[in-house]
C-alpha cells in the first residue's frame, strides 16, 4: 500500500488557481492536467450542452494561439492531448517530452486567460454544427443511442443537474455569442480550476514558471453549486420505445450513492460480480447457461450530486424481455438473501485492484487521478484510501447495498424492434 502513497506539493495562487505537483523522473515525460469545476450539471434547462461545447471551443485558438495550432504545436512536439466533459467537470490534458513543459503552460494559460478576444460568430457556428453532427452520429442515429438520455430525464426531476445529457438536447444546441462569453467568464476562471503537473520537471523552477504564465490571469467569483431537490420514486417508471434495431434491450436503473458514499464501492464490486466477466452471475445465467441474452452489463455510476446503478441486457432473437427481467430480479433477490461468496469477492476485488494499479503506470492517468481526488475529496493523495474502500467491501455490505437501493422503485426502459410492414 506504501507504493500508493503519492508525495506531492499543493498550493493556491492569489488568483485562486490550485496547483498540484508530483515529480517522477523515471521517464523524460510530463503531463499537464487541468480540471475546470464545470460540467453539464452547471447548466440549466433550455441551455444544455454549453459545457461540452466549450470542450470544442477551447481548441479553436486564443488571443496568441491561431486556430488549430494548439493541436499542431503539441503533436509536432511528439505529445498527445485531449479533453472531456462529464456532469461535474471539464478537463484538458497533455503529455509531452519534458523539455516542452513550458510550451504547454503557455498554451493552457493563453486559453484560460485570453480566449474571449478570439471568439467569433464563425467559430461558434462551426462548432455548433460539429456538436450537432456528433449528436446525430453518436446518439440519434446510433442503435440504442438515446437510451441514457431517456433514462436520466425520467430518473431525475427536470430541474436536477443530471436530468439532461452532457452533449445537450438537440433543440438547445443553438447559442449566441453573448451566452457563450457569459458561460466562459462564469466558469473558466483560475479560481474555478485545478492544475496538476506530473512527471519529469525541476521542482525548484516550476512555481516561477506557473506564476509567469498563470499568475496575472484575473479571477471571477467562484460560482455557486446547483440547487438540488430530493429525488425519490413512489412507484416504478416503465418506458417502451420502438427503434430500428434487430434485438430488444432492457435497462433497469435505480438511484444510488454519490461519489465516495458509504455503499459506492460495494455497488461497484457488485456490478463486477454481476457482469464483469464470463464467470459473473448474470453473464453465466443469461448468456451462457440459459442463452436468453446476447450480452448483459451492470455498473455503478456516481457523481457529485447523485448516483445510479444500471443493469442492461440485449435479448437473443425470439426471447421475451420479461423472461430476462425475471432472471435479473431473481438474482438480485438471491444476493439480498444470501449475498455473494468469498470467492466472488476475492476475484472481483483482485481485478479492481489490478486494473487500478495498472492505470497508474501512465503518468497522464495518474495526473488525472490526482485532480479527481482533489475535486471529490479535497485530498490529491487518496489512492490508498480509495483502494481500501474496495478491500473493506464484504458480503454484508453488498447485502445492505442491494436492500437499501435495488429493492426500491426504478426506471425501466425497453427498446424494441419496430414492426416492419410486409
> Per residue in 6-20, pLDDT tens?
999 999 999 999 999
- The reported pLDDT for the residue numbered 239 is 98
- The reported pLDDT for the residue numbered 3 is 62
Residue 246: pLDDT band with limits 50, 70, 90: very high
Torsion of CA 257, 263, 265, 271, to 10 degrees: -80
Does pLDDT of 280 surpass 90? yes
Report, as an integer, the average pLDDT of 72-97. 96
Report, as an integer, the average pLDDT of 283-309. 97
Burial track 326-347 (b if 16+ CB lie within 10 A, e otherwise): ebbeebbeebbeebbeeebbeb
**Does residue 306 come out as left (phi exceeding 0), alpha (psi in the -120 to 50 range) or beta?**
left
Does pLDDT of 400 surpass 80? yes
- The reported pLDDT for the residue numbered 231 is 79
CB 39 within 8 A of CB 85: yes
Residue 183: CA atoms inside 13 Å, Cβ hemisphere, count?
Answer: 25
Does pLDDT of 119 surpass 70? yes
Does pLDDT of 234 surpass 90? no
- The reported pLDDT for the residue numbered 1 is 40
What SS3 class is residue 298? strand
Does pLDDT of 229 surpass 70? no
Predicted TM-score of the model (pTM): 0.94
The edge-to-edge listing of strands for the beta sheet with 29-36 is: 9-12, 18-23, 193-199, 29-36, 90-97, 80-85
- The rounded distance, in Å, linking the Cα atoms of 76 and 85 is 25
Does pLDDT of 2 surpass 70? no
- The rounded distance, in Å, linking the Cα atoms of 405 and 126 is 44
- The reported pLDDT for the residue numbered 225 is 80
Does pLDDT of 420 surpass 70? no
CB 244 within 8 A of CB 207: no
Mean pLDDT for all residues in the chain: 95
**Does residue 378 come out as left (phi exceeding 0), alpha (psi in the -120 to 50 range) or beta?**
left
Q: Is residue 386 classed exposed, middle or buried when 0-12, 13-18 and 19+ CB atoms within 10 A define those classes? A: middle
- The rounded distance, in Å, linking the Cα atoms of 11 and 21 is 9
DSSP H or E stretch at residue 312? strand 306-315
Which residues 6+ apart lie within 8 Å of 418 measured at CB? 242, 243, 244, 245
* Residue-range domains of the chain with CATH: 8-214 (3.30.830.10), 237-417 (3.30.830.10)
Does pLDDT of 161 surpass 90? yes
Q: Who has greater pLDDT, 422 or 345? A: 345
DSSP H or E stretch at residue 253? strand 249-256
What SS3 class is residue 49? coil
Condensed to tens digits (0 to 9), the pLDDT of residues 299-351 reads 999 999 999 999 999 999 999 999 999 999 999 999 999 999 999 999 999 99
Does pLDDT of 69 surpass 80? yes
Cα–chain center distance at 200: 27
What SS3 class is residue 154? helix
Measured CA angle at 368 (ends 69, 214), to 5 deg: 55
Amino acid at each position: 500500500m506504501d507504493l500508493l502513497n503519492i508525495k506531492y506539493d499543493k498550493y493556491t495562487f492569489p488568483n485562486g488557481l490550485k496547483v498540484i505537483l508530483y515529480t517522477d523522473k523515471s521517464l523524460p515525460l510530463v503531463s499537464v492536467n487541468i480540471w475546470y469545476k464545470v460540467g453539464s450539471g452547471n447548466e440549466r434547462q433550455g441551455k444544455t450542452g454549453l459545457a461540452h461545447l466549450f470542450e470544442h471551443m477551447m481548441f479553436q485558438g486564443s488571443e496568441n494561439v491561431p486556430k488549430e495550432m494548439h493541436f499542431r504545436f503539441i503533436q509536432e512536439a511528439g505529445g498527445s492531448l485531449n479533453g472531456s466533459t462529464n456532469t461535474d467537470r471539464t478537463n484538458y490534458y497533455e503529455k509531452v517530452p519534458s523539455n516542452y513543459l513550458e510550451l504547454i503552460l503557455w498554451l493552457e494559460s493563453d486559453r484560460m486567460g485570453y480566449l474571449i478576444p478570439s471568439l467569433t460568430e464563425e467559430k461558434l457556428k462551426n462548432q455548433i454544427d460539429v456538436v450537432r453532427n456528433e449528436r446525430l452520429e453518436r446518439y440519434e442515429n446510433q442503435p440504442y443511442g438515446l437510451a441514457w438520455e431517456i433514462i436520466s430525464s425520467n430518473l431525475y426531476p427536470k430541474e436536477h443537474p443530471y436530468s439532461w445529457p452532457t452533449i445537450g438536447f438537440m433543440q438547445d444546441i443553438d447559442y449566441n455569442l453573448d451566452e457563450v462569453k457569459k458561460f466562459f467568464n462564469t466558469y473558466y476562471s483560475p479560481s474555478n480550476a485545478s492544475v496538476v503537473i506530473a512527471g519529469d520537471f525541476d521542482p525548484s523552477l516550476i512555481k516561477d514558471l506557473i506564476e509567469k504564465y498563470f499568475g496575472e490571469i484575473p479571477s471571477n467569483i467562484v460560482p455557486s453549486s446547483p440547487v438540488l431537490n430530493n429525488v425519490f420514486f413512489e412507484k416504478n417508471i416503465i418506458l417502451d420505445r420502438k427503434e430500428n434495431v434487430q434485438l430488444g434491450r432492457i435497462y433497469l436503473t435505480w438511484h444510488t450513492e454519490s461519489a465516495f458514499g458509504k455503499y459506492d464501492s460495494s455497488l461497484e464490486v457488485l456490478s463486477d460480480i454481476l457482469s464483469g466477466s464470463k464467470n459473473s452471475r448474470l453473464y453465466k445465467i443469461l448468456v451462457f447457461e440459459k442463452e436468453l441474452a446476447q450480452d448483459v452489463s451492470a455498473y455503478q455510476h456516481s457523481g457529485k450530486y447523485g448516483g445510479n446503478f444500471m443493469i442492461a441486457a440485449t435479448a437473443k432473437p425470439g426471447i421475451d424481455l420479461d423472461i430476462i427481467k425475471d432472471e435479473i430480479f431473481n438474482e438480485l433477490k438471491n444476493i439480498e438473501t444470501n449475498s455473494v461468496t468469498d470467492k466472488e469477492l476475492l476475484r472481483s476485488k483482485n481485478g479492481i485492484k489490478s486494473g487500478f494499479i495498472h492505470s497508474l503506470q501512465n503518468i497522464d492517468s495518474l495526473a488525472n487521478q490526482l485532480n479527481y481526488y482533489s475535486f471529490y475529496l479535497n485530498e490529491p493523495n487518496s489512492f490508498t484510501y480509495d483502494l481500501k474502500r474496495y478491500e473493506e467491501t464484504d458480503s454484508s455490505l453488498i447485502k445492505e447495498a442491494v436492500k437499501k437501493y435495488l429493492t426500491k422503485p426504478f426506471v425501466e426502459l425497453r427498446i424494441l424492434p419496430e414492426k416492419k410492414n410486409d
